[in-house]
Amino acid sequence: MALSMTAVKSNAIPLRSKRIFCHTTLLYRHVHTTPSNHSSIQIPPNGTVSPSDITMPPLLSQAAAAAKATTKSKALPPLSILPTSQILRSYLITRATSTPSLLRASFAILSRMCDPKARFLSPDRNPLLKFAFKHTFYAQFCAGENKAEVQRTATRVNNAGYRGVILEYALELLKGEHATATPAEELRVWRKGMLETVDLANEGDFVALKWSGMGREALALLDAGEPPSTEMRTAIEEVCDRAVERGAALLPGAELEVTNVGIDRWTIDLQRKYNKTRPVMYTTYQCYLKSTPGNVARDLDIARKEGFVAGVKLVRGAYLWSEPRDRVTKTLEETHGVYDGVMEAVLKRMWNDVLKPADQKNNEFPPVAVVLASHNLDSVKKARAIRDEQAEKGEPLIECAFAQLQGMADEISCSLVAASQAKMAEGKSTSGGVEVLKPVKCATWGTVSECLGFLYRRALENQDACARTAVTRKAMASELVRRSKAVVGM
């Protein structure tokens, strides 16, 4: 999956896309960011869904008992839920990737590892390199190489207090990839990886996907705004049916803006079929694109007219440097405004100056669920404030999850977990005036070789997100100091 835009600066000069060769060609991608049981919505005989038809999921989890037991003890900082090994690894990685010389060295090594011709630097051929890499960068950002490792990661995440995971198979297929594979083989690989990922998900989890991962033929159809082929449609519906059986939901990742028309048509068509009682399929909206508010309003209007639950995933953006500048917001502040404005409108189910109704004659807001994929602390705080105010007033709450990438923005994620556990410790639900938060972590899985392109993007992101990386590094350093003092009794 992939969680959005690192930063947009005023008068920014577009950079050309970089291509990385990792068995296949990967596009340089700026990622920003970014649950438990999904709500059930009963459709009345007349086929019209109203807010009162929404039944919220249970708000107390297994973490509640532990939270209650520690309520009377001295409150620990949010990062205390992480093991020391992870805190130390996060500090060292953010320190390394924020040091220019070490960052350049990291880029050089990762780039060579992605080249299938570099036999000595191939994790598949160099066991010592694989061991070192798997226990550093891979362990920081990835969930595991196989079912057992992924399940251990998911269990650890949930035991820490998160209320679900977003799993993504490390298969990315963009223009120029798998030049020797047939369209049928590309589709077969995508189908197999998606079904395996869905089978790893538990009830209430999410599964991220890439429509472009189906291959060159899928990309051509998306570019042309055409529907999927019969074979693609069969594979897609098989994945959706399996997700329904598992009680999971599907989160298409952000892609290049040129494919958005096709992607929007595919996802809305699937929402018509699968979102009748709960959100199974979501649409991802990139808020650095000027067209996003209009696209969200259009899709919400379709959901209202046709009586299904709109699934909305908000990110800031993923392909900033590859998009035509006239289609992107001019400044970072403008992107923040779009994200926060759309977020507020969806959470409140109320139109505003940013998100305006597509149909002025009938501006009723449809049933909607949202995933807020963001590493931006201000946006997270605003969303929490809205939800808390709604809960205090006894207003209906839509289903909402807060998502961050594994190994990134842990200071934000852990704060959400701490707040969620504190609310659960009060023993109240939304009806009692307390809104229990739903933080989730997004983790990519696959072999070390398969994940190299994903890991390369993490290094690129840390390069461009210096301010955010500094915040994370300082938070980890403070937590290490706190634990050191605790050991010596200070």
N-term to C-term CA, the chain: 42
Question: Which pTM does this prediction carry?
Answer: 0.81
Residue 100 is predicted with a pLDDT of: 75
Q: Judge whether 110 lies within some domain.
A: no
Give the pairing of strands 142-144 and 54-55.
unpaired
Q: Nearest-CA neighbor of 284 among 266, 302, 272, 301?
A: 266
- For CA atoms 237, 56, 155, 377, the dihedral sign is positive
Q: Judge whether 461 lies within some domain.
A: no
Give the pairing of strands 40-41 and 54-55.
antiparallel
Q: Judge whether 35 lies within some domain.
A: yes
Residue 52 is predicted with a pLDDT of: 45
Residue 10 is predicted with a pLDDT of: 42
Residue 106 is predicted with a pLDDT of: 75
Annotate 387-425 with b (16+ C-beta within 10 A) or e (fewer): bbebbeeeeebbbbbbbbbbbbbbbbbbbbbbbbbbbbb
Q: Judge whether 366 lies within some domain.
A: yes
Residue 103 is predicted with a pLDDT of: 72
- Residues 178, 223: Cα–Cα separation, whole Å: 18
Residue 178 is predicted with a pLDDT of: 45
Q: Judge whether 266 lies within some domain.
A: yes
Show the beta-strand stretches assigned E in 352-475: 368-373, 399-405, 439-445
Question: For position 264, which CATH number holds?
Answer: 3.20.20.220
Q: Per the structure, how many domains does the chain have?
A: 1
Q: Nearest-CA neighbor of 248 among 450, 54, 446, 440?
A: 440
pLDDT per position as a tens digit, 356-411: 999 888 889 999 999 999 999 999 999 999 999 999 999 999 999 999 999 999 99
Query: 390, 435 in Cβ contact below 8 A?
Result: yes
Residue 35 is predicted with a pLDDT of: 43
Q: Residues of the chain whose pLDDT is less than 50?
A: 1-37, 39-43, 51-52, 54-73, 173-178, 429-431
Residue 464 is predicted with a pLDDT of: 57
Residue 94 is predicted with a pLDDT of: 86
Q: Judge whether 14 lies within some domain.
A: no
Q: Judge whether 101 lies within some domain.
A: no
Query: 380, 409 in Cβ contact below 8 A?
Result: no
192: containing domain: 19-42+130-446
pLDDT per position as a tens digit, 173-228: 444 444 568 999 999 999 999 999 999 999 999 999 988 888 889 989 998 889 99
- Residues 339, 4: Cα–Cα separation, whole Å: 11
Q: Judge whether 272 lies within some domain.
A: yes
